[in-house]
Amino acid sequence: MAEQMTAAVLHKVDDVRIEQVPVPEVKSDLDVKIRIKAVGVCGSDIHFYREGRIGDFVVKEPIILGHESSGEVLEVGNAVTHIKPGDNVVIEPGYPDRTCQFCKTGKYNLCATVPFMATPPTDGAFCQYVVWPGDFVYKVPDNVSFEEASLVEPLAVGLQATKRAHIHPGMRVAIVGAGPIGLTTLLAAMAHGATTTFISDIYPMRLGLAAKLGATHTINAKDTDQVQAVLDVTHGEGCDVVLETAGTPETVRKSMAMVKRGGVVTLVGMSAEVEFSVPMMDIIMREYDVRGVFRYANCHPVAVALLASGRIDVKPLITHEFPLAQAKEALDFSDTRKDVAVKVIVKP
């Protein structure tokens, strides 16, 4: 009988079970086997857990959740030379075919055949061991903990968002949503030189954390008109860039209302809803760009470098840790206790 490992398996909405599953094995010269040490709970995990879908990605068969992962290399294929057993690493949770036009032009996140961890039908990292292509596994220096390394993936999302928005020094930037992606996007925007930064949310704890991280303006959207607050400070002009990270129809529309004429709105947050209405005439008449952000490309090495150098510190985002046996509790807590939780880590 094949060697077994413990995994948290999602069977259907609200049904996560701790089970024994086969340990994956290195089968290719490009493969790397990793002992998982830390996995962040992502909003996408919660969408699959609570709703069974994100857009066209639907849970139809049991699947292991979790994709924000770090660990220790146990075994490498013969063609893997940049890492070795014993190295600490982070996993980029999607890999492309490497041959299509998008891969060849550096936009491999748009490759049509990307298997992505914890997105049907590909299993994720809420388990003890993972085997993954070595060219999408990156060494992490010893001064970065496994817990910090698990935030490389959400930081990569923030870096992709700021790259898509073309943020440069001196810009006024608004971020809608101060969850983990909103906060990593804030850190990325500041690293790109944004000097005036607004961030809105409905949870005071998260806004307080955003202020400690360096946001110049925090807005409690529960009791303040966030659009008007941005317009008041910018003398009615709005922001150069607005990054929407909450993923709701209302926050998308408000993001569009707080961008300046000719500015850029980047949509980062993912929603279970496939379609909703937007102010088309406003987009046309004020000629601002609306750009989607789908995961990331070539951002993980940059994120690792920023953490290793100390330019970005993600430690304040880590608020709670759970063992793998309590993965369901970790998902519940991350979903229902946004008043106290930011990044929840599962530790196999």
- The pLDDT confidence band at residue 270, using thresholds 50, 70 and 90, is confident
For 300, the token pair is: 């993980």
Residues of the chain with CATH 3.90.180.10: 4-151+314-347
Round to whole Å and give the CA distance between 197 and 325: 39
- The pLDDT confidence band at residue 272, using thresholds 50, 70 and 90, is low
**Superfamily, domain 156-292:** NAD(P)-binding Rossmann-like Domain (3.40.50.720)
Share of the chain above pLDDT 70, in %: 99
- The pLDDT confidence band at residue 271, using thresholds 50, 70 and 90, is confident
Q: What is the pLDDT of residue 56?
A: 83
User: Which residue's entry shows tokens 């049991």?
Assistant: 62
Share of the chain above pLDDT 90, in %: 96
User: Which residue's entry shows tokens 């005036």?
Assistant: 196
Round to whole Å and give the CA distance between 18 and 327: 8
Cα four-point dihedral sign 113, 118, 123, 127: positive
Q: Which residues contact 1 (CB under 8 A, 6 or more apart)?
A: none
Q: What is the pLDDT of residue 30?
A: 96
- CATH class (in words) of the domain with range 4-151+314-347: alpha beta
Residues of the chain with CATH 3.40.50.720: 156-292
Check whether 10 has a pLDDT greater than 80.
yes
Average pLDDT over residues 157-184: 98
Q: Omega of the bond prior to 169 within 30 degrees of 0, cis? A: no
- The pLDDT confidence band at residue 115, using thresholds 50, 70 and 90, is very high
